[in-house]
Structure 1
Amino acid sequence: MRVVHVSQPVTGGVAAVVLELVRAQRDLGWSVVVVCPPGPLADRVRAVGVDVRTWRAGRHPGLSVAGEAVRLRRLLRDIGADVVHLHSSKAGMVGRLVVRGRRPTLFQPHMWSFQSAGGVVSRAARIWERVAARWTHRLVCVSDDELAAGRAAGVRGSAEVVCNGVDVERFHPGDRAAARARLGLPDVPTAVCVGRLVPYKGQDQLLAAWPLVRAQVPDARLVLVGDGPMAQRWRAACDDESVRWWGADDAVADFYAAADVVVLPSREEGMALVPLEAMACGRSVVAFDVSGVRQSVGEAGAVLPAGDVAGLAEAVAVRLADPSAADLEGAHGRRRVELLFDRRQVADQVATLVDEVLVGAR
Structure 2
Amino acid sequence: MNIVHTEASCGWGGQEIRILEESRGLIERGHAVWVLCPAESRIYEEGPKRGVPTIALPIGRKNLKGLFALRRWLKQNPVDVINTHSSTDSWLAALACQTLKNAPPIVRTRHISSPIPNNWASRWLYTRAVRHVITTGEALRQQVIKQTGADPARVTSVPTGIDPERFYPGDKREARLKLGLDPDTNYIGIVATLRSWKGH
Structure 2 partner of 1:336: none
CA-to-partner distance for each residue in 1:121-158, whole Å, 9 max, x for gaps? x445xx43311120111111222211111111133142
How much does 1:88 deviate?
2.8
Distance 1:37 1:179 in 2: 38
Whose Rg is larger?
1
One-letter identity of the residue aligned with 1:22: S
2:54 to 13, 33, 52: 52
Alignment CA distance shift 1:181-1:89 (3 Å): farther
How much does 1:110 deviate?
0.9
Structure 1 partner of 2:76: 78
User: For the Cα contact (< 8 Å) 1:89–1:113, is it kept in 2?
Assistant: no
How much does 1:105 deviate?
1.1
Distance 1:129 1:4 in 2: 22
User: For the Cα contact (< 8 Å) 2:7–2:37, is it kept in 1?
Assistant: yes
How much does 1:189 deviate?
4.2
Distance 1:185 1:65 in 2: 50
Structure 2 partner of 1:106: 107
* TM-score, with length taken from structure 2: 0.81
Structure 2 partner of 1:159: 155
Distance 1:185 1:42 in 2: 36
Distance 2:45 2:176 in 1: 29
Matches within 5 A, 1:127-166: 127-132=120-125, 133-157=127-151, 158-166=154-162
Distance 1:78 1:16 in 2: 27
CA-to-partner distance for each residue in 1:260-311, whole Å, 9 max, x for gaps? xxxxxxxxxxxxxxxxxxxxxxxxxxxxxxxxxxxxxxxxxxxxxxxxxxxx
Structure 2 partner of 1:24: 25
Residue 192 of structure 2 is aligned to residue 199 of structure 1: no
Distance 2:176 2:87 in 1: 37
Residue 181 of structure 2 is aligned to residue 186 of structure 1: yes
How much does 1:55 deviate?
2.3
Structure 2 partner of 1:41: 43
Alignment CA distance shift 1:26-1:166 (3 Å): same
Match of 2:169, SS?
coil
How much does 1:29 deviate?
1.4
Distance 1:42 1:185 in 2: 36
User: For the Cα contact (< 8 Å) 1:195–1:201, is it kept in 2?
Assistant: no
Match of 1:24, SS?
helix
Distance 1:73 1:163 in 2: 30
Structure 1 partner of 2:4: 4
CA-to-partner distance for each residue in 1:297-336, whole Å, 9 max, x for gaps? xxxxxxxxxxxxxxxxxxxxxxxxxxxxxxxxxxxxxxxx
User: For the Cα contact (< 8 Å) 2:3–2:79, is it kept in 1?
Assistant: yes
Match of 1:193, SS?
coil
Matches within 5 A, 1:182-331: 182=178, 184-187=179-182, 188-203=185-200
How much does 1:98 deviate?
1.6
TM-align CA RMSD = 2.5
How much does 1:174 deviate?
2.6
Q: Which runs of 5+ in 2 are unaligned?
A: none
Match of 1:84, SS?
strand
CA-to-partner distance for each residue in 1:11-48, whole Å, 9 max, x for gaps? 21111211121111111211111111244322332124
> Number of residue pairs matched?
190
Identity rate, percent: 25
Distance 1:29 1:196 in 2: 31
User: For the Cα contact (< 8 Å) 1:92–1:109, is it kept in 2?
Assistant: no
One-letter identity of the residue aligned with 2:123: R
User: For the Cα contact (< 8 Å) 1:34–1:53, is it kept in 2?
Assistant: yes
One-letter identity of the residue aligned with 2:149: V
One-letter identity of the residue aligned with 2:38: P
Q: Specify which structure has the higher proportion of helix.
A: 1
Alignment CA distance shift 1:123-1:57 (3 Å): same
Q: Which runs of 5+ in 1 are unaligned?
A: 116-121, 204-362
Distance 1:15 1:80 in 2: 24
* TM-score, with length taken from structure 1: 0.47
User: For the Cα contact (< 8 Å) 1:88–1:111, is it kept in 2?
Assistant: no
Match of 2:6, SS?
strand
